[in-house]
């Protein structure tokens, strides 16, 4: 009997054990096999923190690799308001002068922070109080934004437990206002606002990466637990064709000239003849991208590209080039030129100075800048033919130099020209161009008639070294090489025989060029009484290498023409020094201006 | 002839059970001696050994884990050091760029009293000819007119080698006003 009882009890125990083991086994299988992945995810989700790895925005550099725009790291100083009140507002930190710890109150800590960031201790106390008034459990408030590295290191040495830091990328421009109009600037939250920063944004912007790290319950990152889930790709480098030093000299020159004659604005553009590259694009009062608010709001864009104006007499060169190219006239074509002409009823124009009818050759007409002579000879070609030539010289079409916005200027088709316009377009009124377009037209003359479109952004080089060159348009043979040579001869005669020859003269170098004095529309159907004075020059005349165009507008306190000429002169000297252009060879052979 | 002599049947012997076997034959059974056994270990030794082994395994696991974590902490410290050093390098490179900017060079040069040779002559190496004029046409050191706000806090070196505060370029809208009309003259009798 005893045996049977014992046996059934042990059997019962055995069954219970089997059932319990079975239950554990089922649960084990469930946890390890069936729900394994879900549980893993949940666990990691509670521990892992995803962090964005910000990519660094690319640099903008000049033609020699000098940095014009780059990304800087700045730090935001933050504190946890509720933690400043913990433990009665006191915390302990290691004693800097010995062993052990030192007790520090929150008020003392605020003073110390304020000393470094330039705030008062009370200000920081206010920040904390305000944050806690809004939300008594507030864990976050900014103390100071955008402090630099040395301030960050000093603040870290204070060893304040509730003070934390976060880094931000900001854009910085180490060369200030040099090429500021071209580079553009960013807003305070890093959005590009103008210039190459906008037009080449796709090249400059990288791709953010992401990583995850695991942290413990009290927020400490577990070392070795960082997993980079996506690599950050930094932005590429944009190369401009600008030369930093020459750009500074050009900006100095135009600022000085505008200041001297109290002009409204002034532009100075220097372009390489063979390649169409713009080595300097200077505008007066250009914005300093580091400090946009300090600049004149009307001078923050690249006005050389977006502010066209009527060029005036500098366009006469193109009219004569068209005449020579068509074989209708030569530099020696004779014309008895009066000072004033009314060729048809309702059409009238005159020269800038009174004179008797003069026996001028076409070269003489260009040297004296006679509107009458130009219009008389210019209208030997039909309006359509001249319109066609102006288009071949690049007028009326936007340049594609690489800026975000490039104005096409104003050139209506020939069929819309009224009778006055037909004559006015021969001497550069009733048509408007940007200064870059004028430089491009003179570049064609200097380059044997082959117009190479202007460029300012050479290309984009990404992080791996691959270079993408921008497309700027196809070169166009505007006039024949023979025509271009003859026009260069005329321009050199102008530079040596006109009233301004001594202003621009550079001993040892042969120069060629033409002044322009243009009236500008007043916005009410008429023209202003003051002028935009320009000078477009090519040097050296024997082997053209650079074109420089200077325009000074509406001078109130001096002679704008002299200002433009002086600006060209200084620009030419600066270009010669920068690129080491050797003196001219050969001799200047003047073309007769009178017969 | 068959003669069957009737034997005397001992009925008693038939009816009574057979007497037990006598113990007289030799028994082949004998109590067994214990086999020669080795010296017996106490169970304690075995337990100690196995516990010791387990503890040893745990200890070495702990040691390895500490070494790995130590390596991870070291790596983290080195990463932080690298980050800090690259920050310092970036700041220094930007300082170099600022100091090399044309505005800084021009302001320092002007302060030192340097002048610019507007028309340098060129030396042609092939035949040693000097192109251009060797007369120096020096232009006055011009004030820098192009602003650069990153230089605002940096001093310039003056002619005595002292650091003096920088003067920001001012593009004034009102340059000296030209006198118009007749010059005033005192009344004389």
Same domain flag for A60 and A77: no
Q: How far is CA A378 from CA A306, A315, A329, A423, in A?
A: 29, 11, 9, 8
Best B73, B82, B147 member to test A by mutation, with max A CBs in 10 Å, is B147
Residue A34 per-residue DSSP state: I
The answer to whether A75 contacts chain B (CB < 8 Å) is no
Do residues A312 and A428 touch, judged by C-beta distance below 8 A? yes
Same domain flag for A368 and A432: yes
Residue A189 domain boundaries: 46-66+177-261+273-301
Give the list of residues 6+ apart from residue B171 with CB closer than 8 angstroms, or none: A255, A259, A284, A285, B145, B147
- Mean pLDDT on A209-213: 87
Q: How far is CA A254 from CA A304, A435, A469, A568, B108, in A?
A: 13, 14, 31, 9, 21
Lowest mean pLDDT among A274-288, A444-458, B154-168: B154-168
Q: How confident is the model at residue A18 (pLDDT cuts 50, 70, 90)?
A: very high
A351-375 confidence digits (pLDDT tens): 989 999 999 999 999 999 999 999 9
Q: Is residue A39 in some structural domain?
A: no
Query: What residues in A contact B119, CB-CB < 8 Å?
Result: 506-508, 573
pLDDT above 90 coverage of chain B, percent: 22
| Cβ density class A187-198: b for 16+ within 10 Å, e for less | eeeeebebbbbb
Same domain flag for A195 and A280: yes
Q: Is residue A28 in some structural domain?
A: no
Contact criterion met (CB < 8 Å) for B178 and A557: yes
A83-136 confidence digits (pLDDT tens): 888 878 888 888 878 788 888 888 888 999 999 998 888 888 888 889 888 888
Contact criterion met (CB < 8 Å) for A223 and B94: no
Q: Is residue A25 in some structural domain?
A: no
A583 to chain B nearest CA, in Å? Answer: 7
Best A157, A174, A575 member to test B by mutation, with max B CBs in 10 Å, is A174
Q: CB-CB: which of A149, A175, A255 is closest to B87?
A: A149
Q: Is the dihedral of CA A220, A222, A223, A226 positive or negative?
A: negative
Same domain flag for A353 and A475: yes
Contact criterion met (CB < 8 Å) for A291 and B147: yes
- Is pTM beyond 0.90? Reply is no
Same domain flag for A91 and A101: yes
Residue A533 is predicted with a pLDDT of 96
Residue B22 is predicted with a pLDDT of 52
Residue B1 is predicted with a pLDDT of 47
Contact criterion met (CB < 8 Å) for B142 and A172: no
Query: What residues in B contact A149, CB-CB < 8 Å?
Result: 87-88, 91
Query: What residues in A contact B123, CB-CB < 8 Å?
Result: none
Q: Is residue A507 in some structural domain?
A: yes
B55 to chain A nearest CA, in Å? Answer: 27
Same domain flag for A168 and A139: yes
Same domain flag for A455 and A411: yes
A476 vs B117, more confident:
A476
Q: CB-CB: which of A557, A577, A582 is closest to B175?
A: A557
Query: What residues in B contact A157, CB-CB < 8 Å?
Result: none
Query: What residues in A contact B122, CB-CB < 8 Å?
Result: 580, 582-583
- Mean pLDDT on B109-118: 82
Q: What is the CATH number of the domain that holds A468?
A: 3.40.710.10
The answer to whether A45 contacts chain B (CB < 8 Å) is no
Query: Among A482, A503, A501, which Cα is nearest to A493's?
Result: A501
Contact criterion met (CB < 8 Å) for B101 and A73: no
Query: Among A476, A436, A427, A438, which Cα is nearest to A456's?
Result: A436
A220 vs A10, more confident:
A10
Lowest mean pLDDT among A15-19, A136-140, A310-314, A420-424: A136-140
Residue A189 is predicted with a pLDDT of 77
Q: How far is CA A274 from CA A242, A271, B11, in A?
A: 15, 9, 156
Same domain flag for A255 and A364: no
Same domain flag for A170 and A197: no
Q: What is the CATH number of the domain that holds A249?
A: 3.90.1310.10
Q: Which of residues 40-79 of B touch A (CB under 8 A)?
A: 68-69, 71-73, 75-76
Over chain B, what is the mean pLDDT? 79
Same domain flag for A150 and A187: no
Query: What residues in B contact A294, CB-CB < 8 Å?
Result: 147, 149
* Chain B residue at shortest CA distance from A292: B149
Q: How confident is the model at residue B25 (pLDDT cuts 50, 70, 90)?
A: low
A325 vs B121, more confident:
A325
Query: What residues in B contact A577, CB-CB < 8 Å?
Result: 120
Query: What residues in A contact B147, CB-CB < 8 Å?
Result: 176-177, 288, 291, 294
**CA–CA separation, B92 vs A173, rounded Å?**
15
Domain boundary pick from A151, A174, A197: A174
Contact criterion met (CB < 8 Å) for A507 and B102: no
Same domain flag for A312 and A381: yes
Q: Is the pLDDT of residue A343 over 80?
A: yes
The half-sphere exposure of A4 on its side-chain side, counting CA atoms within 13 A, is 1
B162 to chain A nearest CA, in Å? Answer: 24
For chain A, what is the largest distance between any 2 Cα atoms, rounded to a whole number of angstroms?
A: 155
Best A250, A252, A258, A299 member to test B by mutation, with max B CBs in 10 Å, is A252
Q: Is residue A530 in some structural domain?
A: yes
Contact criterion met (CB < 8 Å) for A557 and B72: no
Residue A4 is predicted with a pLDDT of 64
Do residues A395 and A409 touch, judged by C-beta distance below 8 A? yes
Domain count for chain A, please give it. 3
**CA–CA separation, B56 vs B51, rounded Å?**
8
A44-82 confidence digits (pLDDT tens): 766 677 888 889 999 999 999 999 999 999 999 998 888
Q: How confident is the model at residue A439 (pLDDT cuts 50, 70, 90)?
A: very high
Q: Is residue A2 in some structural domain?
A: no
Same domain flag for A384 and A404: yes
């Amino acid at each position: 009997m005893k045996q049977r009882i014992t046996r059934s009890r042990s059997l019962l125990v055995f069954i219970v054990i089997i059932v319990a083991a079975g239950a554990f086994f089922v649960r084990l299988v469930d946890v390890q096999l069936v729900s394994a992945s879900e549980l893993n995810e949940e666990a990691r989700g509670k521990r892992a923190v995803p962090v964005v790895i910000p990519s660094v925005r690319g640099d903008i550099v000049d033609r020699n690799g000098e940095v014009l725009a780059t990304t800087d790291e700045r730090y935001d100083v933050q504190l946890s308001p509720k933690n400043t009140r913990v433990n009665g507002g006191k915390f302990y930190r290691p004693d800097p002068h010995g062993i052990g710890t030192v007790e520090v109150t929150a008020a003392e800590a605020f003073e110390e922070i304020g000393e470094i960031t330039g705030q008062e201790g009370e200000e920081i106390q206010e920040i904390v109080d305000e944050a806690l008034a809004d939300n008594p459990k507030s864990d976050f408030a900014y103390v100071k934004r955008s402090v630099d590295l040395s301030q960050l290191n000093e603040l870290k040495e204070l060893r304040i437990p509730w003070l934390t830091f976060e880094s931000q990328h900001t854009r910085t421009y180490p060369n200030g206002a040099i090429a500021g109009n071209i580079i553009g600037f960013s807003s305070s939250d890093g959005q590009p606002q103008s210039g190459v920063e906008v037009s080449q944004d796709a090249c400059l912007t990288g791709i953010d990466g992401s990583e995850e790290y695991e942290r413990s319950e009290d927020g400490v990152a577990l070392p070795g637990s960082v997993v980079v889930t996506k690599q950050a790709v930094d932005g590429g480098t944009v190369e401009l064709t600008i030369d930093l030093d020459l750009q500074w000299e050009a900006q100095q020159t135009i600022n000085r000239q505008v200041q001297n004659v109290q002009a409204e604005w002034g532009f100075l553009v220097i372009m390489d003849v063979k390649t169409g590259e713009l080595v300097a694009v200077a505008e007066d009062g250009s914005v300093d991208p580091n400090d946009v608010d300090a600049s004149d709001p009307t001078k923050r864009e690249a006005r050389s590209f977006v502010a066209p104006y009527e060029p005036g007499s500098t366009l006469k060169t193109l009219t004569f080039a068209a005449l020579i190219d068509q074989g209708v006239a030569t530099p020696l074509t004779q014309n008895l030129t009066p000072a004033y002409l009314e060729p048809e009823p309702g059409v009238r124009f005159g020269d800038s100075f009174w004179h008797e009818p003069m026996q001028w050759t076409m070269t003489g007409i260009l040297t004296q800048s006679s509107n009458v002579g130009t219009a008389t000879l210019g209208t030997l070609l039909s309006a359509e033919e001249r319109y066609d030539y102006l288009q071949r010289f690049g007028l009326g079409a936007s340049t594609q130099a690489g800026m975000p916005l490039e104005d096409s200027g104003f050139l209506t088709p020939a069929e819309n020209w009224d009778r006055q316009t037909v004559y006015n377009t021969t001497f550069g009124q009733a048509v408007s161009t940007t200064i870059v377009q004028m430089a491009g037209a003179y570049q064609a003359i200097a380059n044997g008639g082959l117009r190479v479109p202007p460029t300012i952004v050479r290309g984009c080089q990404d992080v791996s070294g691959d270079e993408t060159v921008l497309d700027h348009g196809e070169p166009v043979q505007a006039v024949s090489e023979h025509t271009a040579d003859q026009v260069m001869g005329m321009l050199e005669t102008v530079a040596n025989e006109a009233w301004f020859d001594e202003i621009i003269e550079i001993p040892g170098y042969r120069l060629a060029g033409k002044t322009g004095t243009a009236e500008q529309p007043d916005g009410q159907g008429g023209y202003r009484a003051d002028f935009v004075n320009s000078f477009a020059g090519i040097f050296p005349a024997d082997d053209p290498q650079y074109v420089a165009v200077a325009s000074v507008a509406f001078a109130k306190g001096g002679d704008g023409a002299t200002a433009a000429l002086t600006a060209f002169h200084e620009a030419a000297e600066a270009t010669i020094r920068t690129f080491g252009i050797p003196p001219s060879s050969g001799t200047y052979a003047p073309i007769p201006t009178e017969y | 002839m068959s003669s069957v002599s009737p034997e005397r049947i001992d009925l008693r012997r038939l009816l009574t059970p057979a007497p037990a076997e006598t113990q007289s034959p030799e028994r082949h059974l004998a109590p067994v001696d214990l086999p020669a056994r080795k010296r017996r270990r106490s169970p304690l030794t075995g337990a100690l050994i196995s516990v010791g082994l387990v503890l040893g395994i745990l200890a070495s696991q702990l040691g390895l884990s500490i070494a790995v974590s130590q390596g991870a902490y070291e790596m983290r410290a080195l990463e932080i050091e690298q980050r800090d050093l690259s920050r310092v390098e970036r700041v220094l490179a930007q300082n170099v760029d600022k100091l090399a900017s044309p505005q800084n060079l021009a302001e320092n040069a002007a302060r030192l009293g340097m002048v610019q040779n507007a028309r340098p002559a060129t030396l042609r190496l092939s035949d040693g000819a000097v192109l251009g004029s060797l007369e120096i046409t020096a232009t006055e050191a011009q004030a820098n007119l192009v602003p650069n706000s990153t230089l605002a806090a940096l001093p310039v070196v003056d002619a005595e080698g002292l650091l003096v505060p920088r003067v920001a370029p001012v593009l004034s809208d009102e340059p000296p006003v030209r006198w118009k009309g007749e010059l005033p003259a005192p009344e004389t009798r």
